[in-house]
Amino acid sequence: MDSFDFATMWQKTPLPMIAILRGLRPEEAAEIGDVLLEAGFTWLEVPLNSPRALDSISLLRERVGMRAIVGAGTVLTTEQVDSVVDAGGQVIISPNMNLSVIRRSRDRGAISLPGVATPSEAFTALDAGASGLKFYPAEMISPDILRAMCVVLPPHVVCMPVGGVSAEAQQLQRWCEAGAKGFGCGGGLYRAGTECEQVRHNALAYAQAWQQVNSRAQRQ
C-alpha cells in the first residue's frame, strides 16, 4: 500500500494509535485483543521477539476479523515479512529502515511502516514504497525535530512517533502540533504479564487523552 492510500485509510481511524504488544503470549491474545477493541484500538502489533509471535498474530486475526488491522513489529528480514503475511499479518513494522523489508512488504500487499530518524532515511523509505513512517525512538527525535522534518516531507505522509509515548494529552498535543498523525503505544499500554484489567485501564487512558487532543483541535 503506497503512502497516499495509507494516508486515506489512516484518516478514517478514530483512534490513531497502534497498540504494541511486546511479550504477548498466544494464550492471552484473544482476551487482550477484545479489551483493546473495546477501548477503541483498531491497530494491533505483536513484535516478533514475543513468545510464539506468529501464533498470536494468527489468533488475533481470527478474533478481530475485519474490526482491526493486525501485524508484526521488530520485522528485520524479508523472510520474516513472508512469515508474518502467511500468518495473516497485514502490517509490517520495523525499528529500522531496511529497503528489502519495505519492498517485500509492498510486494506481499502489506502495509509497511519502517523506523526512521533522519530526513535521508525518511525519503529513502518513501521512495522504496513505505506506507508511512515510524519515527523511532521518539525520545531521541523530539517534537522540534519532527516539526523540522515535516516541513520538507510530503504533507500527506503519516508520521508516527514511537517510544516513550505516554497517555498524557499535553505530550500528544505537542507531537500533533509538530506534525504527528498517529502514535505507537508500547510499555505504557502493555508489558509482558500485564493483567487484562490493567491493560483495559491503560487503553482507556490513551483513548481519553486522544479525545482531549482531538476536541481541542476541533475547537480551533
The DSSP-derived string for 203-218 is HHHHHHHHHHHHHHHH
> What is the separation of C-alpha 16 from the centre of its chain, rounded to a whole number of angstroms?
9
Whether 12 is a known active-site residue: answer: no
| Known catalytic residue at 134 | yes
Q: For residue 170, give Cα distances in angstroms to 6, 37, 80, 214, 219.
A: 27, 24, 37, 12, 16
Catalytic residue among 31, 62, 79, 134: 134
Q: What stretches of 112-195 show up as alpha helix (H) in DSSP?
A: 119-128, 138-152, 169-178
Q: Are 27 and 2 in contact (CB under 8 A)?
A: no
Distance of CA 6 to the CA centre of its chain: 12
* Active-site option among 28, 45, 121, 181: 45
The residues annotated with a catalytic role in the active site are 45, 134
